[in-house]
Structure 1
């Protein structure tokens, strides 16, 4: 039952976000903000596919234990693409709110992104091992979380200041995604059922993409 439910959910998620991303790219009509949003959605979908597709295959065949290398490699790729996702989201913030200067935010975002990627490259992560250390899972997620907090703050502040009703909940989608993601990082190995929190985390990302798509459609009417 888990294999069927999880596979169907993941397939709907991947197809959904990639489709929305392609639609935004195709229908952005030269609007840089929504073209970037579409690219971001495609990066999200294809990046997650590297982890979710092997997981679905494993669940539907011989089990997760026999796909350790594929799952670990996919998790590594997803870690990089999620970092890129937030870099793109940062630039969407700059474009949407016509931000000039404020390079300190750019420095912090890129600094945290580089730190995250460098930490992901260390062999101590043991991505393809069935016993990857929790400590390195924490290390590589510290800059990632800081990066997320910066973007949460920026979207919350700007959407309130400019009374941006279409993007008023963008910050909340990121809060929810991290709120469900971090317990998985910290406790899923000890309490496997906590891994189910990845479902609402995934739905939060769908909400993020939907906000962009809905805003594009609303502004084109």
Structure 2
């Protein structure tokens, strides 16, 4: 099956992104000995968070590659649905683990807010189990598309504000930027999630959102894993 230009661009970009995040995680592991000992616990959690994201995205991109090169493309609902599930689980774990990294970095106890954010992640995973998600159907019911994205939305926005607040208080510019990157990524992801089926061209916003994630990943690497003079 001949791929249309938009599909080919999407696949190429996603493969480049997977290679990028894989390299970031490898560099984090390689440079773990350069991490400030006081920040080692947070750094290990950050590496684990991005590893979870990589695994989830690997399932998603891998599914799209299989679907397109099998000749069925968007008609291969089973493979694409499983890939979407992988991606969603990866995102939930990304934010659960990064929330814990925020907690240990700023020496917060396991306060109620922290427990609520972790609990929201667990609720999100439970929501994914419900058959109403129709992961392997042509399209999910719109109400369930919204429901299953709410935990990830709450997790990310809350975490971005917490990181920004605490980093600003100690004048940590790179962590401030991380908080901003997480927050603004939703301006590109949410229109696609809620209106992508109505206006398919909105899917191009995912590329910008992914670039913002790449900035988040690199800034995290630069902040914790590169030797500071």
TM-score, normalised to structure 1, is: 0.92
Task: Select between 190-199 and 101-110 the one with higher mean Cα deviation.
Answer: 101-110
Question: What is the 5 A alignment of 1:1-221?
Answer: 1-29=5-33, 31-99=40-108, 101=109, 103-221=111-229
1: CA distance, partners of 2:6 / 2:74: 16
Task: Say if 1:37 and 1:89, in contact at 8 Å, map to a contact too.
Answer: yes
How many residue pairs were aligned?
A: 220
Structure 1 stretches (4+) deviating beyond 6 angstroms? none
Relative contact order (alpha carbons < 8 A, sep ≥ 6): 1 or 2 greater?
Answer: 2
Task: Say if 1:170 and 1:211, in contact at 8 Å, map to a contact too.
Answer: yes
1: CA distance, partners of 2:59 / 2:226: 33
2: CA distance, partners of 1:57 / 1:102: 42
Superposition CA RMSD, Å = 1.7
Question: Deviation at 1:219?
Answer: 4.4
2: CA distance, partners of 1:218 / 1:23: 9
Task: Say if 1:108 and 1:147, in contact at 8 Å, map to a contact too.
Answer: no
Question: Deviation at 1:194?
Answer: 0.9
1:29-79 CA-to-partner distances (Å, cap 9, x unmatched) read 272222222222221112111111221343345242332101101111211
* Gap runs ≥5 in structure 2: none
* Gap runs ≥5 in structure 1: none
